[in-house]
Amino acid sequence: MVSWTYVELEDVGSTQAIAKSLASMGATEGTVVVAKSQSFGEGRLGRTWLSPPGGLYMSIVLRPNSLSKPELIPLVSAVAVVKGVEQATGVLGRIRWPNDVMVKTKKLAGVLSEAQSYKGEVTQVVVGIGLNCNAPIAASTDLKESATSLMEELGKQVQVAELKHSVLDAFSELYDELQKGANMMPVWKQHFGTLGKPVSVKLKTGENPFTCKAIEVDSDGGLVVEGEKGNQVVHTGDLEWLKELS
């Protein structure tokens, strides 16, 4: 199991930036940087992550030296968020590939996973988790349509500290299984909301989005989609967005 070392902070620029900097100075596996709010929260693909007080913002340092498939860490992280949220609050989330955590059609949490390699080996991964807990989703932004928080789902405030522990407990268990080489596919599939659904995929290359059906996740975590041109595997780095149409 991972042994956690907490770096608890108040308002920061980004826990991700701090965790990466600590990692570059030798922070050990299991270092978790947690903040009450962030002024420059980083999202996937260069987006920003709105981080007012009341949310859970944390970045985990991992050193997956002996992992055969470190590319699966982002997916495992999303499963940990789903499990941790369910355990602490009863709210059932599902994963929109690759690692958004959704409640119905609205995004509850996001995962940003950044790896560093040396001589072809992944030596360090920093997993950033942003979970909307008690902060209202800003009414003035278009996020109102696409994002939700636990408070909005439950109609009451939640304990952010309890959520932190339940997400990290779930993470530790799953990461342990991953380290032992377990097949994580069944547990992911249990929580994926994407499979069998029509989706709209936009590749980073600037292509127009295309509509297809998500049919499988392969053993490297790639999403197999079925479109007009047959089957194609979409990898995390290539995806700009993926949205369920129904």
**Binding-site member from 29, 30, 31, 42 for ligand BTN (CB under 6 A):** 42
> In this complex, which beta carbon is closest to ligand BTN, that of residue 47 or of residue 189?
47
| Integer angstrom CA distances of residue 231 from 212, 215, 220, 227 | 9, 9, 16, 6
In the complex, least distance from residue 100 CB atom to ligand BTN, rounded to whole angstroms: 6
Residue 90: left if φ>0, alpha if ψ -120 to 50, beta else—which one?
Answer: left
Continuous segment of H or E residues that includes residue 19: helix 15-24
Q: How far is CA 154 from the centre of its chain?
A: 21
Q: To which residue do tokens 């913002």 refer?
A: 57
Q: Which of residues 107-146 bind ligand BTN (CB under 6 A)?
A: 110-112, 128-130
> In this complex, which beta carbon is closest to ligand BTN, that of residue 152 or of residue 215?
152
Long-range pairs for 43-51: beta carbons < 8 A, 24 or more residues apart = 43/110, 43/112, 43/130, 44/110, 44/112, 45/204, 45/240, 49/110, 49/112, 49/130, 50/138, 50/141, 50/143, 51/130
- Could you say whether residue 164 binds ligand BTN (CB under 6 A)? no
Kindly give, in sequence order, each residue whose CB lies less than 8 Å from that of residue 80, ignoring residues fewer than 6 positions away: 167, 168, 170, 171, 174, 175
> In this complex, which beta carbon is closest to ligand BTN, that of residue 136 or of residue 227?
136
Q: Are 129 and 111 in contact (CB under 8 A)?
A: yes
Q: Beta strand pairing status for 106-118 and 210-217?
A: unpaired
How many of the chain's residues bind ligand BTN (CB under 6 A)? 21
In the complex, least distance from residue 77 CB atom to ligand BTN, rounded to whole angstroms: 10
Q: How far is CA 85 from the centre of its chain?
A: 13
Q: Which stretch binds ligand BTN (CB under 6 A): 12-20, 81-89, 156-164, 225-233?
A: 12-20
**Binding-site member from 22, 23, 31, 59 for ligand BTN (CB under 6 A):** 59
**Residues 193-232, mask of contacts with ligand BTN (x by CB under 6 A):** ----------------------------------------
In the complex, least distance from residue 116 CB atom to ligand BTN, rounded to whole angstroms: 16
- Could you say whether residue 14 binds ligand BTN (CB under 6 A)? yes
Strands (E), 136-217: 198-203, 210-217
**Binding-site member from 30, 31, 44, 70 for ligand BTN (CB under 6 A):** 44
> In this complex, which beta carbon is closest to ligand BTN, that of residue 15 or of residue 134?
15
In the complex, least distance from residue 227 CB atom to ligand BTN, rounded to whole angstroms: 24
Which residues bind to ligand BTN, rule: CB under 6 A? Answer: 14-16, 38, 41-44, 47, 49, 51, 57-59, 100, 110-112, 128-130
